A and B are shown apart, each in its own frame.
Chain A
Amino acid sequence: MARVLARKPSPFQQAIQHGDVIWRIVIGAMAIVVLLIMLAIGWSVWSDSSQSRELFGWNFVLPTSDTTWNPVKDKYQAWPIISGTIVTSVLAILLGAPLSIFIAIFLSELCPHWLRTPANFMIEMLAAIPSVVLGLWGIFVFLPIVVRPIGEFLGNTLGFIPLFAGPIPASGSSRLAAVLILTIMIIPTITAVTRDVLRAIPVAQREAALALGSTRWETIWQVLLPASLSGVLGAIILGLGRALGETMAVTMVIGNNPVESSGSLLKPGATLASTIANQFAEAVSPVHSSALIELGLILFVITILLNMVARLLVYQVSRTMPMEARA
């Protein structure tokens, strides 16, 4: 019987199990390469920023009123950039997260069947628009038509609050513009993840709540949202990660002023990513590029931590991550 089946494998074939050993090594190596890419990115921003880290120490990142970003004198202080990043992203989340949760509720719970596919589709397309196209539209359409009027209104009515101290520049380039563009950009991320998390909740939960006499809204608000809390939180953190790292659209509308320290939304500011995008190719000295790479290091550390937390939160609820969740 055995003689009929096959000729005896050569010792070499036996040793590599007909190629399986090689195959396992190859796919294992490729998997490790993916891991190495992650580590190499971290290592490269860490080691390339060493000059700046040694020169400026913690003063580079700590809050200060004496802000400098001076490539001529080679003195850099990143606080206005860091705070600008945090302020724009957090405000975008405050605007975008409630909006996205409402949209997710509509898409997952209320949307009539015929509308479900097109509505989901539109939200997904919003995520697919290249950020540079959004930035172009931002400069020539969004800034003059939407941002400037809102900015003027805020400056006139709430100008006494430092956050809204005007006036907004004639071009409209300001932190406010970045906040609004970021809000648009994070809606698909938060919506998609929240929607999938809501859908992962068993129908029985809804039926039980309705049978107890809840209204539809009470079912959603008191049963579904609490049940999906960790997933929704994960979605919001993913959105925050995306907002912090968003580069092109923000660079094109924020005005790129890395020393503006008043913190007013109506003034041009800068974010970590926008400063790198704006200055790195024209960096004048090794210290300048090193300082810019340190901005990258800060951004990398923040986004990695946020992403890890968010993924773990979402993994608990739903095993698969929707496509739109990609930054």
Chain B
Amino acid sequence: MSAVTQSVPSTAVPTILPRGLIKSKTGHQRRRVVNIIMLTLTGLLTLVAMLPLIWVTVYTAITGARYINLNLFTQLPVAIGEGGGGVTNAVQGTIIVILLGMLISIPLGILAAFYVAEKPNTRLGFVVRFSTDVLAGVPSIIIGLFGYAILVKPLGTYSAFAGGVAISIIMLPTIIRTTEEMLKLVPKSLREGSLALGAPDWHTSLIILLPAALEGVITGIMLAIARGVGETAPLLFTILGNDQYSVPQIVQSGVQNNFSPVQILQGILVTPTDALTLTMYKYSQEPFPEHVQQAWAVALVVMFFVLGINIITRTLTARRAAAR
């Protein structure tokens, strides 16, 4: 017994086979060589796959940093050749569209997640879960077409509202799935305790379970926001683009003309607007160097916002998992 343990120490690397097991020495050699080559290859290819990420982020950071300035956020676009100007229309448009998207997708997503988490084995529960997953795989351009069909055509105008609805559909699957996962992680005893004390279901869900899962739910919402901010395709035919979109100006002229708050809100929401990603796309197609430079600056902002949210949420999630 002891002889065996000596010839094959327990710490042996698995690639070292017991002598005598393999008859042909060359076969043994070949297997070892194949092993080493393939294992090295997996590592090398992982490095290769990281090249584009590093290249894109570093190049965007360097190029964007050269052209970024405060005017980009505060000024409206100016005519080509005048120099200066910014894309505050796109900054404000993105904020409005994302806020609308959140307003729709957060309540809808969380409530639907309650259903899926509480009744996973009912037929409707499975179907909703499944369609959430499939919805996540629907190309975003089709969601743009959908937004056009249900809101732009009936309203007769491209609008921030249509963009917000389209973005909410993009955000929905992420919110539902993370909320569902987080609700499942809440200890059963918490739920049972609440019900045993006589609290109704809705009270248990909203006042006990949701706060317990809150951190995870917020993580999901932040990831959904990051996704929404980075999307372009659903906005192409819903908000269209608007060089002159400026919420302060709309409010100011509304107040001057004695419009009611509802009318002012309509002026903000039911009008074509712009978005950072949309501006990048349009500017990248133009032959004007000023616009291309601004596109890079916007790319820097969008990329670091999106990557930043991803980094923060992932660090938080990792820390929570480690603490558990």
Contacts and interface: CB of A to CB of B under 8 A. Distances in A.
A215 B31 contact: yes
Given A30-B115, A31-B125, A248-B232, A216 B174 contact: no
Contact of B280 (A22, A38, A132): A132
Contacts of B15: 215-216
Q: Which 8 A-B pairs have the closest CB atoms?
A: A245-B139, A130-B230, A23-B202, A307-B137, A106-B42, A30-B111, A215-B35, A31-B115
A212 B172 CA distance: 48
A132 B35 contact: no
Interface in B96-149: 107-108, 111-112, 114-116, 118, 124-125, 127-128, 130-143, 145-146, 148-149
Interface of B: 14-15, 17-18, 21-22, 31-32, 34-35, 38-39, 41-43, 45-46, 48-50, 52-53, 55-57, 59-60, 107-108, 111-112, 114-116, 118, 124-125, 127-128, 130-143, 145-146, 148-150, 169, 172-174, 176-177, 181, 198, 200-203, 205, 223, 226-227, 229-233, 236-237, 240, 277, 280-281, 284-285, 292, 295-296, 299, 302-303, 306-307, 310-311, 314, 318
Nearest to B21: A213
Contact of B138 (A135, A248, A304): A304
Interface residues of A, number: 98
A34 B314 contact: no
A175 interface: no
Contacts of A276: 141, 145
A140 B174 CA distance: 32
A126 B52 contact: yes
Interface string A312-327: 0000000011010111
B108 A327 contact: no
A110 B49 contact: no
Interface stretch (A64-72, A76-84, A97-105, A259-267): A97-105
Contacts of B55: 137, 141
Interface stretch (A12-20, A50-58, A147-155): A12-20
Contacts of A17: 200
Nearest to A305: B134
A215 to B, nearest CB: 4
Contacts of A311: 130, 133-134
B284 A135 contact: yes
A137 B56 contact: yes
Interface string A117-132: 1010111111011111
B138 to A, nearest CB: 6
**Secondary structure of the A contact surface, majority rule:** helix
A31 B233 contact: no
Contacts of A38: 131, 134-135, 138
B92 to A, nearest CB: 19
Contact of B200 (A20, A129, A300): A20
B303 A133 contact: yes
A298 to B, nearest CB: 10
Nearest to A180: B52
Interface string A17-60: 11110111011101111110110110011001000000000000
B46 A119 contact: yes
A31 B145 contact: no
Interface of A: 6, 17-20, 22-24, 26-28, 30-35, 37-38, 40-41, 44-45, 48, 99-100, 102-103, 105-107, 110-111, 117, 119, 121-126, 128-137, 139-141, 184, 187, 191, 210, 213-221, 238, 241-242, 244-248, 252, 273, 276-277, 280-281, 293, 296, 299-300, 303-304, 306-308, 310-311, 320-321, 323, 325-327
A132 B232 contact: yes
A191 B53 CA distance: 15
Given A238-B137, A273-B141, A326-B174, A218 B31 contact: yes
B39 to A, nearest CB: 6
Given A38-B135, A247-B139, A299-B139, A131 B232 contact: yes
A34 B38 contact: no
Contacts of B116: 31
Most buried by A among B60, B150, B200: B200
A106 B134 contact: no
A174 B237 CA distance: 25
Contacts of A218: 31, 35
A82 to B, nearest CB: 14
Contacts of A241: 137
A124 B223 CA distance: 12
Given A131-B230, A244-B139, A307 B31 contact: no
A134 B292 CA distance: 14
B45 A102 contact: yes
A117 B321 CA distance: 13
